[in-house]
Amino acid sequence: KQEVTQIPAALSVPEGENLVLNCSFTDSAIYNLQWFRQDPGKGLTSLLLIQSSQREQTSGRLNASLDKSSGRSTLYIAASQPGDSATYLCAAQNFGNEKLTFGTGTRLTIIP
């Protein structure tokens, strides 16, 4: 059974700093891993998807990496801005199974 963990649960960072969010998973037989952003009381916005054959994906100031052997993914945010404040969730999809298994998220606060 896949289990996904995100530590820390909350993180506060001054504006302009680069930061890394962590995601770990127990079953390395993943098909892909997605990173999402969730604003309070809202739905999920897909940020990046990394397929199992890929090592990383980039979109603007965001870079996500995947290391299946160690069961880890990271989301790197460059030059953080107050608008980046949100909860960031990672989710793993295993081969042969379409459901996403989510972590509990990291609540990020960027301090102006």
Partner 1 sequence: DTGVSQDPRHKITKRGQNVTFRCDPISEHNRLYWYRQTLGQGPEFLTYFQNEAQLEKSRLLSDRFSAERPKGSFSTLEIQRTEQGDSAMYLCASSLNGYEQYFGPGTRLTVT
Instruction: Provide the binding-site residues for partner 1, judged by CB under 8 A.
Output: 4, 32, 34, 36, 41-46, 49, 89, 91, 97-105
- The smaller minimum CB distance to partner 1, of residues 19 and 44, is found at 44
Whole-angstrom distance, CA of residue 100 vs CA of residue 5: 13
Q: How far is the CB of 73 from partner 1 (least distance, A)?
A: 14
- The smaller minimum CB distance to partner 1, of residues 15 and 49, is found at 49
Residue 48 region by backbone torsions, left for phi larger than 0, else alpha for psi between -120 and 50, else beta: beta
- The smaller minimum CB distance to partner 1, of residues 18 and 46, is found at 46
- The smaller minimum CB distance to partner 1, of residues 18 and 109, is found at 109
Q: How far is the CB of 12 from partner 1 (least distance, A)?
A: 17
Beta strands in 15-51 (DSSP E): 19-25, 30-38, 44-51
Residue 27 region by backbone torsions, left for phi larger than 0, else alpha for psi between -120 and 50, else beta: beta
